[in-house]
């Protein structure tokens, strides 16, 4: 019989690779689920063990296809109906976070819709990493633990011992994120100001700041086709930089992304394992977030602050 408020960790099918590592760092086996599928593809998830009275953590990144999100919603509902005491959804990569506002007439706000769906399904808490926009936390009426990728990237960058370090934002929207990264190293920053004609296509770009002789680090929360990042890297090298690399939390990497990166002037693209890579590349280095999430789960279980997991500057 499960003890009252025992912690149990489960995963949807798309994040099993990461959930197993999180559970291992936490010191528990990953719980077992069954995802029954009808012949038309309809899903019916179920838990293979009792979760009555347990604090349940459901791990699933919501990258495409949309089945990943629907599977998570069904697991939340199943947990509620199985009398779980508390349901925390752990979404390392929060899909649809780019749709966080109305940037033109007659469009939806996808991030808010996802928040409503998670609430309606019965989630009690959200744990995630590097949201595209921090204000998305306000879309929820329950606690949100917003972890920072800096805890993963800063130690790695320090290990490189780069002499003349400058941080760069690939667009104006990422200035705050890049400035925060630069503060950890007391370094300067520059901005790549881009203009788009349509989504995933950069029409023009210019550099604001001096990078001559510098080792430049581009900072972003996600990389999709890689067009902006590779164009920014080329511009930075053309302006006299010594080297340019990128640290990006979520490797969406769709379309021609792998070709773009492999053919770019980037020394390396450093990402996390919130989304599994579809291809291997000598230019892509993956850092794991498993230990960070395991520590956060432990602090939530013990009703402790998770702020100690953030790197202070």
What is the pLDDT at residue 183?
93
How much is the average pLDDT of 237-260?
A: 97
Q: Where are the domains of the chain?
A: 7-148+290-309, 150-287
Summarize pLDDT for 153-167 with one digit per residue, the tens: 999 999 999 989 999
Confidence of residue 302 (pLDDT cuts 50, 70, 90): very high
Question: What is the radius of gyration, based on Cα positions, of the chain?
Answer: 20
| Contact between 19 and 59 (Cβ < 8 Å) | yes
What is the pLDDT at residue 204?
76
Angle at 59 between CA 120 and CA 115, to 5 degrees: 30
Say whether pLDDT at 221 is over 50.
yes
- Give CA–CA dist 278/255, Å, rounded: 11
Confidence of residue 2 (pLDDT cuts 50, 70, 90): very low
Say whether pLDDT at 1 is over 50.
no
How much is the average pLDDT of 183-199?
A: 83
Tell me, yes or no, if the two domains 7-148+290-309 and 150-287 fold the same way.
yes
Q: Which long-range contacts (CB under 8 A, 24 or more apart) does 133-141 make?
A: 133/97, 133/100, 133/101, 135/100, 136/94, 136/97, 136/100, 136/111, 139/111, 139/112, 139/115, 140/115
Architecture of domain 150-287: 3-Layer(aba) Sandwich (3.40)
How much is the average pLDDT of 7-26?
A: 97
Say whether pLDDT at 133 is over 50.
yes
Q: Exposed, middle or buried by CB within 10 Å (0-12, 13-18, 19+), for 265?
A: middle
Summarize pLDDT for 251-298 with one digit per residue, the tens: 999 999 999 999 999 999 999 999 999 999 999 999 999 999 999 999
What is the pLDDT at residue 198?
62
Q: Which fold has domain 7-148+290-309?
A: Rossmann fold (3.40.50)
| Contact between 95 and 114 (Cβ < 8 Å) | yes
Q: Residue 241 has which token pair?
A: 């930089």
Q: Is 194 among the catalytic positions?
A: yes
Q: How far apart are the first and last CA of the chain?
A: 46
Q: How far is CA 110 from the centre of its chain?
A: 16
Of 194, 212, 256, 283, catalytic: 194
Give the residue with greater pLDDT, 204 vs 220. Answer: 220
Summarize pLDDT for 87-111 with one digit per residue, the tens: 999 999 999 999 999 988 999 999 9
What is the pLDDT at residue 30?
98
What integer best gives the mean pLDDT of the chain?
A: 94
Summarize pLDDT for 21-57 with one digit per residue, the tens: 999 999 999 999 999 999 999 999 999 999 999 999 9
Q: For strands 201-208 and 269-272, give the pairing.
A: unpaired
Please state whether the predicted TM-score (pTM) of the whole model is above 0.75: yes
Average the pLDDT over each of 127-131, 148-152, 191-195, 226-230 and give the range with the smallest value: 191-195
Confidence of residue 203 (pLDDT cuts 50, 70, 90): low
- Per DSSP, the three-state class of 77 is helix
């Amino acid at each position: 019989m499960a003890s009252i408020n025992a912690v149990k960790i489960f995963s949807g099918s798309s994040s099993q690779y990461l959930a197993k590592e999180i559970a291992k760092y936490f010191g528990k086996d990953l719980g077992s689920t069954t995802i029954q599928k009808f012949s038309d593809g309809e899903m019916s998830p179920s838990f293979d063990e009792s979760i009555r009275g347990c604090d349940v953590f459901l791990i699933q990144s919501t990258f495409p296809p949309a089945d990943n999100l629907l599977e998570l919603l069904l697991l939340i509902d199943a947990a509620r109906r199985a009398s779980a005491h508390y349901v925390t959804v752990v979404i390392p990569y929060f899909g649809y976070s780019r749709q966080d506002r109305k940037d033109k007439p007659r469009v939806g706000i996808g991030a808010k819709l996802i928040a409503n769906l998670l609430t309606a399904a019965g989630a009690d808490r959200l744990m995630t990493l590097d949201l595209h926009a921090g204000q998305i936390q306000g879309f929820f009426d329950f606690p949100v633990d917003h972890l920072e990728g800096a805890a993963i990237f800063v130690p790695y960058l320090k290990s490189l011992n780069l002499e003349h370090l400058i941080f760069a934002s690939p667009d104006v929207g990422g200035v705050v994120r890049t400035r925060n990264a630069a503060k950890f190293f007391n370094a300067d920053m520059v901005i790549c100001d881009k203009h788009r004609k349509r989504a995933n296509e950069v029409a023009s770009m210019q550099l604001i700041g001096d990078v001559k002789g510098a080792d430049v680090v581009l900072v972003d929360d996600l990389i999709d086709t890689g067009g902006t990042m590779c164009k920014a890297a080329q511009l930075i090298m053309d302006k006299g930089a010594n080297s340019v690399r990128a640290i990006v939390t979520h490797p969406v990497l769709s379309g021609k992304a792998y070709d773009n990166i492999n053919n770019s002037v980037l020394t390396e693209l450093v990402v996390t394992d919130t989304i599994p890579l579809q291809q291997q590349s000598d230019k892509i280095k993956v850092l794991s977030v498993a230990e960070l999430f395991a520590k956060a789960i432990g602090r939530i279980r013990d009703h402790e602050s998770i702020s100690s997991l953030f790197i202070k500057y």
